[in-house]
Structure 1
Amino acid sequence: MDSYDVVVIGSGPGGYVAAIRCAQLGMKTAIIEKYPTLGGTCLNVGCIPSKALLDSSHHYEDAVKHFGTHGIDIDGEVKVNMEQMIARKAQVVEQNTKGIEFLMDKNNITVLQGVGSFKDATHINVTDSEGNVTTVEAKKTIIATGSKPASLPFIELDKERIITSTEALKLSEVPKHMIVIGGGVIGLELGQVYKRLGAQVTVVEYMDTILPGMDKSLSKELTKVLKKQKVKFALSHKVKSVTRNGDEVTILADDKKGQEVSFSGDYVLVAVGRRPYTDGLNLEAAGVKMDERGRVEVDNHLKTNVDNIYAIGDVVKGAMLAHKAEEEGVMVAELMAGQKPHIDYNLIPGVVYTWPEVAAVGKTEEQLKEAGVAYKVGQFPMRALGRSRASMDTDGFVKILADEKTDEVLGVHMVGARVADLIAEAVTAMEFRASAEDISRMSHAHPTYAEAVKEAALAATDNRPIHM
C-alpha cells in the first residue's frame, strides 16, 4: 500500500493548487480525480469554457454591430459556425487541462484516477472506471470535491432542452428562445453568449434584482445595459413548474402580484446556483461532519472535526469562487507545514464576465447601512473617460466607498470594460488599508480604463474629480 503525507481529493483550482503547494513544501503528495481530465469544474465545464464562448460571441457581435463604425467593411453575411466555436472552446479547455497534467508531473505529484472514498480517517479507496479498487494511506487529507449545478426539486433536468450550465457550454445550435431561470452570474454570462449569437433570451429571477448579494447599484446598471441589448427580465417571479413537449419547454411562474404567467422557449437553462458535492466520499467512515446545507464543517483553519482531514473550496462555507478555493488550498498546505498564513475573506473579489464586466470587493452600501457605518461615496462614469470613448465601451462606472472619518476604502464596485482586471487594484489597495486619498494620489496611465478608479477616489476624497 502506497503511503503519502497528503492526499488531495479533487483536482479543481482548490485541489490542484493545494497539491502543488504541498509538494513545494516537501510533502509527498497524491491527488485523486474521478474524471479523465484534471482541472475540475472550472477548467472543464465552468470558468474557462464559458470565457472562451463569451470571447467568441463577443467577436461575432462586434463583427455584426460595430465593425462598420470602425471602418471595417465585411463583404457577405457574417455567420455563426457553432461547430467551430464549440471546437475552439474544447481546444482551450484541453490546453488548460494538459497544463495541469504538466504541473503535476513537474512537482512529482502522483495522480490517481478514480473515485476517492474514505475507508477510515487515514485510508482512502480509489475506484477506477473498471471497478478496480486501490487503497492508499494518507497522513493528512484535503477534501476539494467542489460543487455541482443546483436545481429546483420539481424540475426534471433532461439535459437536452432543460439544461444546466454544463450542457449550455456544448449546444450544437443557437436557441430560438432561451429562458434562463436565475439572474446570477452563470445565468447572465451564458444568457449573454446566446443573445449575442441571435437567441431571444428571457431571465426569470425570484428576487427583485439580478446579481443578488452584490451592491444594488451594480445590479441596476447591468440590468439597464442588458435591457439595451434586448435581454428580457421577469424579476420577482417564482417558478413553479417546467414542462417539455417535444422541442418546446414551458415555464409557469407566479409574479409579484401572485398572478400566474407562462414563458415558452426551445431551451431552459436552470442556473439557480450550485450545491456542494460530496457524493461517494463516504465521509461517515472517516467521522467527518457536515452541516445542514450539505457542506463539510470546518474551523477557521479549514480543519474538519477529524484532526488530520481538511476541506476547501465550494465544499465548505463561503463564496463558490475558484480563486477563493485556490487561496484556501495554499493556506491549508502552509498550515500543515507549520506556517501561519491568513485569508481575509472580505477581500475576495467577485466578478461577472458579461460585457460590460462587473466586479466588486469589500462591503456593499447595503451592508454598510445595515452595520451603521458612516461612509462616503465617490463615483465616476466610464463615459467620461477618453479610453472608453475610443473603444466605444462607455457603459458603467467605478464606485468607491470610504469610511467617513478615516477615509479608509471599505468597498469598491465597478461596471465597465476590463473591470475584471481592474478590481485587482482595489484588492491591493484594501489589503494595505489604503485611503481613498492614497488611490487618488497614485499616477494612473492615460488613456486607460483604470483612470476611472483614480477619479472615483478623487470624488470620494473631497468630491473633486477632474474629468466630470
Structure 2
Amino acid sequence: MSKYDVAVIGSGPGGYVAAIRCAQLGMKTAIIEKYNTLGGTCLNVGCIPSKALLDSSHHYEDAIKHFEDHGIEIPGEVKVNFKKMIERKAAVVDQTTKGIDFLMNKNKIDVFTGIGAFKDATHIEISGDKNETIEAKNTIIATGSKPSSLPFIEIDKERVITSTEALSLTEIPKHMIVIGGGVIGLELGQVYRRLGAEVSVVEYMDRIIPTMDAAQSKELTKVMKKQGVKFYLSHKVSAVERKKNEVTITATDKKDKEVTFTGDYCLVSVGRRPYTDGLKADNAGIKITERGQIEVNEHLQTNISNIYAIGDVVKGAMLAHKAEEEGVFVAETLAGQKPHINYNLIPGVVYTWPEVASVGKTEEQLKDEKVEYKSGQFPMRALGRSRASGDTDGFVKILSDAKTDEVLGVHMVGARVADLISEAVTAMEFRASAEDIARMSHAHPTYAEAVKEAALAATDNRPLHA
C-alpha cells in the first residue's frame, strides 16, 4: 500500500494548486481525480471553455458590427463556423489540462484516476480502471461543485441543459431561454446572442447579478438590452416542459400573472451545489451541513483533525481563485506556517462584454452596516482609451470610509476590468486610501485611468476629466 503525507481528492484549481504547494513544501503528495483529465470543472467545463467561446463570439460580433467603423471591409458575408468554434474551445481545454499533467510530473505528484472514497480517516479507496487503496497522513477534499437545478425541472442534457451541455452544443439555438441572471447564465447567454440566437433571461430576483453592487447590475442590464438580450426580472419559474424540440417555461411575474416562454433550448443556471457524491465522508466521520457543504473551521480543517476541505465544497463564494488561495493556505498550514486569507478581498468577475468586476463591500452592504462612506464614480466614456477602442460603456466606482478615506469597495463595469480589479485588490490589501490611489501615476491612455479618476472623485469630488 502506497503511503503519502498528503492526498488531495479532486484536481480542480483548488486541488491541483494544493497538491503543487504541498509538493513544493517537501510533502509526498498524491492527487485523485475521477475523470480522465485533470483540472476539474474550471478547466474542463467551466472557466476556460466558457472564456474561449466568449472570445470567439466576441471576434465574430466585432467583425459583423464594428470592423467597418475601424475602416476594415470584409468582402462577402461573414459566417459562423460553429463546429470549428467548438473545436477550438476543445483544443484550448486540451492544451490547458495537459499543462496540469506537466505540473504534476514536474512536482513529482502521483496521480490516481478513479473515485476517491474514505475507508477511514487515513485510508482512501480508489475505484477506477484499477482498484487500490492508499494511506494518507493528511487529506484535502477538493471535490468542487455541480450545477444546481429546481426540483420540478428534469435536465435531459439535450434541450433542457446546464452550463456543461451549453459549452458543447452542435447548433446555435434559435431561442435560448436562460433561467437565472447570475454570472454563468449571462456569460453563456451573451455567447449565443452574439451568434444570432434570441436570448431571454428569466430571473427570480428584481435584478441580475444580485450579489454585486446595484449600479453594476443596472449598467450591465442596460448594455445587454442594447445587445438584444431580453430580461424578465421578478419572475418565479414554476414549470419547464419539453415536447420534441420545443421547451416551454411557465413563470409568474411580480403581479402573480402567469407568463409562458417558448424556445428550442432552456439553460438552467440557478447556481451550483457542493459535490460530495461517492466520497463516503461518513466513513471518516466528517460532518456535512444541511446545505451539503463540508463543515470546516477557520483553518479549513474538518471535525477530523487530519482532514481538510477547500473550494466549492465549503462555505463561501464558488470561485476558482478562492479555491486556489485555500489550497495554498492548507498546504502552508500543514507545513507549520501561518498563512492568511482575507475573504473580503476575493474579487468577483463577470466575463461578459463589457466585463464586470468587484471587490470589497457594495454600497448596499455599507448602508446595511450603517458605515459612513464616500462614493466616487467615473464613466468609461470620458476616457481617451475607451473612445479609441470604442468601448465606452461602464464606469469605475470607489467607496471609501467617510472619516479615514480607506477604500472599502471598488466596483467596475467596462473593457478589461477583469484585469483592472487587481489594482483595487492590491490597494485594499495594503489598506490604501482613495487619496493614495489618486496620487499614483497611471499611464495614459489606458482604461486604468478610470481607477485614478474615480479615486479623485471619492477623495473630494475632483475628477480631472469629467
Instruction: Tell me the distance in 2 between the aligned counterparts of 1:173 and 1:74.
Output: 25
Per the TM alignment, residue 257 of structure 1 is displaced from its structure 2 partner at its CA by: 0.5
Partners of 1:77 and 1:35 in 2: how far apart? 41
2:361 paired residue among 363, 382, 386: 363
Q: Distance in 1 between matches of 2:326 and 2:218?
A: 32
Show the 5 A alignment for 1:253-264: 253-264=251-262
Supply the AA of the counterpart residue of 1:135. T
- Give the whole-Å Cα distance in 2 for the aligned partners of 1:459 and 1:12: 41
- Letter aligned with residue 314 of structure 1: D
- Residue identity opposite 2:189 in structure 1: G
Report the counterpart of residue 141 of structure 1 in structure 2. 139
Give the aligned partner of residue 72 of structure 1.
Answer: 72
- In structure 1, distance between residues paired with 2:325 and 2:137: 22
Deviation (angstroms), 1:391: 0.4
Q: Any idea what the Cα deviations from partners look like across 1:400-438, whole Å, max 9, x if unmatched?
A: 000000000000000000000000000000000000000
Read off the aligned partner of 1:6 and give its amino acid letter: V
Please point out which of 453, 456, 459 is paired with 2:454. 456
In structure 1, the residue matched to 2:30 is 30
Is 1:10 the counterpart of 2:10? The answer is yes
Residue of structure 1 in register with 2:100 after alignment: 100
For residues 122 and 93 of structure 1, what CA distance do their matches in structure 2 show?
34
Look up the equivalent residue of 1:345 and give its one-letter code.
Y
In the alignment, the residues of structure 1 paired with residue 389 and residue 418 of structure 2 have an alpha-carbon distance, to the nearest angstrom, of 17
Q: Within 2, Cα distance between the matches of 1:304 and 1:242?
A: 39
Counterpart CA distance in 1 for 2:40 and 2:335 is 25
Partners of 2:83 and 2:457 lie apart in 1 by: 48
Q: What secondary structure sits across from 2:70 in the alignment?
A: coil
TM-score (norm 2): 1.00
Match of 1:186 among 184, 187, 199: 184
Q: Please state how far the C-alpha of 1:133 moved relative to its aligned partner.
A: 1.8
Shift of 1:453: 0.1
Residue of structure 2 in register with 1:83 after alignment: 83
1: distance between equivalents of 2:306 and 2:171? 48
| Alignment match, 2:266 | 268
| Identity level (%) | 79
1:328-407 superposed matches below 5 A? 328-407=326-405
- Which amino acid in structure 2 is aligned with residue 74 of structure 1? I
Task: Give a deviation string over 1:286-329, Cα, whole Å, max 9, x none.
Answer: 00000110000000000000000000000000000000000000
In 2, the alpha carbon distance for the partners of 1:353 and 1:225 equals: 14
4+ residue runs over 2 A deviation: none
Structure 1 residues 353-393: Cα deviation after superposition (integer angstroms, max 9, x where no partner): 00000000000000000000000000000000000000000
2:20 counterpart of 1:20: yes
Spell out the pairing of 1:149-168 with structure 2 (5 A cutoff).
Answer: 149-168=147-166
Match runs of 1:314-333 below 5 Å: 314-333=312-331
Partner of 1:59: 59
Corresponding residue of 2:433: 435
> Does structure 1 residue 298 correspond to structure 2 residue 303?
no
Q: Distance in 1 between matches of 2:231 and 2:369?
A: 31
Deviations along 1:153-206, whole A, 9 cap, x unmatched?
A: 000000000000000001111100000000000000000000000000000000
CA distance in 2, matches of 1:279, 1:82: 34
**1:55 offset after TM fit, Å?**
0.1
AA aligned to 1:357 is E
CA distance in 1, matches of 2:8, 2:448: 39
Match of 2:115 in 1: 115
Deviation at 1:52, TM superposition (A): 0.1
Equivalent-residue separation in structure 2 for 1:246 and 1:295 (angstroms)? 37
User: What secondary structure does 1:194 align onto?
Assistant: helix
Distance 2:162 2:211 in 1: 22
Gaps of 5+ in 1: none
SS of the residue 1:69 aligns to: helix
Taking the aligned partners of 1:457 and 1:234, their CA distance within structure 2 comes to 35
Amino acid of the structure 2 residue aligned with 1:387: R
Amino acid at match of 2:76: G
Cα shift at 1:212: 1.1
CA distance in 2, matches of 1:233, 1:463: 34
Unaligned 5+ segments in structure 2 are none
- Equivalents in 2 of 1:78, 1:126: separation in Å? 50
Residue in 2 that maps onto 1:419? 417
- Paired AA for residue 453 in structure 2: E
Partner residue, 2:40: 40
Q: Which position in structure 1 is the counterpart of 2:203? A: 205
3-state SS, counterpart of residue 272 of structure 1: coil
Aligned mates of 1:464, 1:241 — CA distance in 2:
52
1:232 alignment counterpart: 230
Partner secondary structure for residue 399 of structure 1: strand
Counterpart-to-counterpart distance in 1, 2:71 and 2:172: 28
| CA distance in structure 2 between the partners assigned to 1:252 and 1:12 by the alignment | 36
One-letter identity of the residue aligned with 2:408 = L
Shift of 1:445: 0.3
In 2, the alpha carbon distance for the partners of 1:351 and 1:204 equals: 21
Alpha-carbon offset, residue 61 of structure 1? 0.1
